[in-house]
């Protein structure tokens, strides 16, 4: 995700220093797009007006921000930090508090749209943070985003991403069952989905994934392993706020089945594999 987002920033005229914990990836990006690479997050952040991160999970965010040689130790007062990682709301709030103590502006800004959205510069971004921090981040995020919404204070971006994943989990499972049923009933699936995709059942997942799901193609970027991480954060938050998510919890276990089948790196639409002989 980070590589195409950085590419759009460079194309928009921004001067970038990139850091990746796999140094070869950073060097390869610089060879293709220019700019400079750094040996640590702190080195990349030194002298920067803004630092943008897109890593894997809470521990990764902590490593590149407040860990040894993390970005926060090198960022100047008034600098902006934007985190596009899907992480916990708890961590987002803590980073905002720590950033404020250092004179930094911090935005938790998880994204939706997957690898394809990043490549096209058409991501949807849900932002948590102060009005001034989000306003400062918006011109940068516009380089790779189609929709940017400030949803509330620190942590609310991450909570909104959980809403996103709750919606996706149920929709993909429903679509998998619909394809499975259509085939078992002997329907012409192309005709069936041409019919239903024009009505109330239509969804992004249906339009973009039913054909590839039927063909058994599951290489579209957002892996089962990452979805389980996201749903784990969501279910943890639900336990804390008292909300009940029975469908989400069930689909999380279906994704665990896929991991047991060795499909952890396949994309989330591979749910249909559980239903196929």
Distance CA 256, CA 22 (A): 28
From the list 25, 120, 161, 191, the catalytic residue is: 161
User: Is residue 161 annotated as part of the catalytic site, yes or no?
Assistant: yes
Q: Are 218 and 271 in contact (CB under 8 A)?
A: no
Partner residues linked to 17 by β-bridges: 36
Which residue bears the tokens 């954060």?
A: 233
Terminal alpha carbon distance of the chain:
33
Distance CA 217, CA 273 (A): 10
Distance CA 85, CA 34 (A): 24
Active site residue ranges: 161
């Amino acid at each position: 995700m980070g590589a195409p987002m950085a590419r759009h920033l460079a194309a928009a005229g921004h001067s970038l220093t990139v850091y990746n914990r796999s140094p070869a990836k950073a060097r390869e990006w610089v060879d293709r797009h220019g700019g400079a690479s750094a040996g640590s997050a702190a080195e990349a952040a030194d002298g920067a007006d803004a630092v943008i991160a897109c890593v894997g999970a809470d521990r990764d965010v902590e490593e590149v921000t407040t860990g040894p040689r993390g970005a926060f130790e090198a960022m100047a007062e008034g600098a902006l930090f934007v985190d596009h990682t899907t992480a916990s709301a708890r961590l987002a709030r803590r980073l905002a508090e720590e950033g404020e103590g250092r004179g930094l502006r911090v935005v938790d800004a998880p994204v939706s749209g997957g690898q394809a959205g990043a490549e096209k510069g058409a991501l949807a971004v849900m932002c948590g943070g102060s009005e001034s921090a989000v306003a400062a981040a918006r011109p940068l995020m516009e380089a790779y985003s189609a929709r940017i919404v400030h949803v509330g204070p620190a942590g609310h971006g991450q909570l909104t991403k959980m809403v996103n994943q709750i919606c996706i989990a149920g929709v993909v499972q429903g679509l998998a069952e619909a394809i499975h049923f259509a085939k078992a009933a002997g329907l012409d699936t192309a005709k069936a989905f041409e019919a239903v995709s024009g009505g109330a059942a239509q969804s992004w997942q249906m339009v973009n994934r039913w054909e590839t799901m039927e063909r058994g193609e599951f290489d579209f970027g957002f892996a089962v392993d990452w979805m389980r991480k996201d749903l784990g954060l969501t279910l943890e938050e639900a336990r804390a706020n008292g909300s009940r998510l029975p469908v989400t919890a069930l689909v999380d276990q279906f994704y665990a089945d896929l991991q047991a089948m060795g499909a952890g790196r396949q994309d989330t639409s591979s749910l249909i594999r559980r239903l196929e002989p």
